[in-house]
Amino acid sequence: MNAQQIRSAYLAFFEERAHAVVKRAPLVLKGDPTTLFTGSGMQPMIPYLLGEPHPKGKRIVNSQTCLRAQDIDDIGDNRHTTFFEMLGNWSMGDYFKKQQIEWMWEFLSEVVELDMSKVYVTCYIGDERYGIPKDVEAAEVWESLYEKAGLSHGQADIGSEQDGYERGINEGERIFYYDGSKNWWSRNGGPETTPVGDPCGPDSEMFYDFGIEHDPSFGEHCHPNCDCGRFMEIGNNVFMAYQKVDEGRFEPLEKPNIDHGSGLERIAAAKLGDPDVFKISLMWPIIQKLEEMSKKSYNDNLESMRVISDHLRAATFLAVDGCEPSNKEQGYVMRRLLRRAIRFANELGVNKEFFEEIVPVVANLYVEDFPEVAEQRDKIIATLLKEEKAFTRTLAKGMRHLLRFVDGGLTGRELFTLHDTYGFPVELSVEIAKRQGIELADDWKDVFDASMREQRERSQTAAKGTFKGGLEGGTMAHRRLHTANHLMYAALKKVVGEHVTQRGSNITAERLRFDFNNEEKVTREQLDLVERMVNEWIDADLPVSYKEYPTDEAFRLGAIGAFGDRYGETVKVYQMGEGENRASFEICGGPHVDHTGQLSQNDDGTPNGKRFRITKEESSSAGVRRVKAVLV
């Protein structure tokens, strides 16, 4: 079975067991201010694990695309990737430990047909401080399954990861108890660091033994949680039995849940019997294309080819989910992924622009299983190509500048210049410097950070007095143009397309400036239509009101916001018009006029005949357009 077949088989297996198959959540979750990306299959399920009814029922299954930006610097070994798929199944207060463990055994042994003599498991050792017992129940279920299969099933207490390196594994041991640093699941580590309010619980992980000789540089002895590469975690059964209600205090959930996640790429590697996840069917075609283009072999260029294939997979799905390269938050991570891929391609000798040949290979791996990839294939390629063209020019200039420091070394101030003038993220400059043997000043980080603070202070001084949302004041003139900004945003989405999302705004007493994502120049005909719609809404004298909503409810009701904004538990949503005549429904802090007719009135309420006019449309940056408008 290849990776695509394993994914299909997993969904079918649980669908046959009364699980509803649901679509993946996007990599960028609206209304979740706690993280930049969807980093696990469990993340979108938190409301339901806490008791909110899932619209599809109590049993759910899917394959969730995930991205963990913190792993960028680890890419290059045989098992880490920033982007991966998590095969997940959930029980919302339905079945629990025994059923879950037995089903996973059945799926791995009978459907995927793994050699179960190479599968080892871990369970939670318990913690008396919090009154949480040792998970003997899960261990006994595993023990019975190993016994039926005629395999050893000895149990052993390990404790911490370091304890594992000191103790190792004895013959016949198969089930190992670890502490909360390894076998407790929450969104943020063990019991002591679990966020208050989060669902959590003990887990039971599954590891595949590739039989590689232990590397003692990782620790004296090998054990399932060793990082030497012999063992690879292929899945985790989380027994969501608790909620942290206060620091140091956990209460059992009224109805415990199952949250299971298995790494698709890792199960596929286990099926191949090779710990190199880059050889599976979702990665190897990319590697083969890189070999063809570079005329070099994978075995001689492991790190470069692994980085490129991983980073372009991640960037492809970020583009599918509406992200674009930028210098802020998700866009910054996307830009860094693409720029690292380009830089490693240069190391391979692929100095020409190469995304045009590689990105279609990546997209084609997913077009059958994720329809949104097929639907947006051309847009994905265009988005990534635009960034490649821009950075290829930047890279050539920056590299020439950076290589001037081969003999003298680099200071923090020079790293700041590379960042500020040449668009080099400091991580990339440091990475290249180390590879080129360029010495870094001992205090480079402190000096770089100080330079960044100085720049921020200059920017803040220049923008002194601005409100959140880009207002430079709170007069009635500012309110009118701010309200017009909302109306124009709504009109652009109708005329140019629903993909339009605010990238920034600046509003003075004389004009508004609005940045939004769009690949092409907006035509004058489109701008005229936007003007006409806004003026019609002004003439209709629509009421302007606001209401506070829970953030997730606001998005479900259709509220729009600015790209990259991170929201708390509640948001203020301004509405212009009502029912079928609603023109705008947008998250915003204000201030606004009371009714749209005020945009063409004097302060005393008398008509002044002013109309909304767009005075300019231009490029702001790659993939971002800028319009300026006035009331005249």
8 Å CB contact between 437 and 447: no
pLDDT over 80 at 150, yes or no:
yes
- Sign of the Cα torsion 595, 601, 602, 604 reads negative
Range with the poorest average pLDDT among 68-72, 108-112, 146-150:
68-72
> What is d(CA 239, CA 259) in angstroms, rounded to the nearest whole number?
7
pLDDT in tens, 532-574: 999 999 999 999 988 888 887 888 888 988 754 556 677 889 9
User: How far apart (Å, rounded) are the C-alpha atoms in residues 512 and 112?
Assistant: 59
Above 50 in pLDDT, residue 459? no
Helix (H, G, I), strand (E, B) or coil at 402: helix
pLDDT band for position 465 (cuts 50, 70, 90): very low
Query: Which residue, 304, 380, 377, 379, is CA-closest to 342?
Result: 304
Contact predicate 279/268, CB 8 Å: no
- One-letter amino acid for residue 267 of the chain: I
- Checking if the pLDDT of 317 tops 80, the result is yes
d(CA 366, CA 84): 13
Q: In the chain, what is the straight-line distance between the N-terminal and C-terminal CA atoms, in Å?
A: 67
Pinpoint the alpha helices (H) of 168-220: 180-183
- Examine the pLDDT at 271 and tell me if it is beyond 80: yes
Contacts of 527 (CB under 8 A, 6+ apart): 614, 617, 627
CB 214 within 8 Å of CB 233: no
- Measured between alpha carbons, how far is 453 from 460 in angstroms, rounded to an integer? 10
Q: Nearest CA to 383 among 338, 341, 414, 336?
A: 338
Q: What is the mean pLDDT of the chain?
A: 89
Distances (CA, A) of 123 to 114, 177, 341: 21, 5, 38
What are the tens digits of pLDDT across the range 479-536?
899 999 999 999 999 999 988 988 888 888 889 999 998 888 999 999 999 999 999 9
Residue 276 in tokens: 């190199």
Domain 3-279: homologous superfamily in CATH: Bira Bifunctional Protein; Domain 2 (3.30.930.10)
Report whether 283 contacts 265 (CB < 8 A): yes
SS3 40: coil
Domain boundary assignment for the chain: 3-279, 283-393, 406-462, 476-631
CA 566 vs CA 188, 493, 546, 573: distances in Å: 19, 21, 19, 14
- Is 110 a residue whose pLDDT tops 90? yes
Q: Model pTM?
A: 0.69
Phi/psi at 160 (5° precision): -90, 170
What tokens does 268 get?
A: 């596929």
What's the rounded Cα separation, in Å, for the pair 48 and 193? Answer: 22
Q: How would you class 569 by CB atoms within 10 Å of its CB: exposed for 0-12, middle for 13-18, buried for 19 or more?
A: exposed
Nearest C-alpha neighbor of 362 from the set 320, 332, 395, 324: 320
Q: What is the edge-to-edge ordering of all strands in the sheet holding 612-621?
A: 502-507, 512-517, 624-631, 612-621
Total residues found in the chain within this entry? 632
pLDDT (tens digit, 9 = 90+) per residue, 371-405? Answer: 899 888 888 989 999 888 888 877 777 778 888 88
**Residue 121 burial by Cβ neighbours in a 10 Å radius (0-12, 13-18, 19+):** buried
The residue to which tokens 């008398």 are assigned: 606
CATH code matching the domain that covers 476-631, chosen among 3.30.980.10, 3.90.180.10, 1.10.40.30, 3.30.540.10:
3.30.980.10
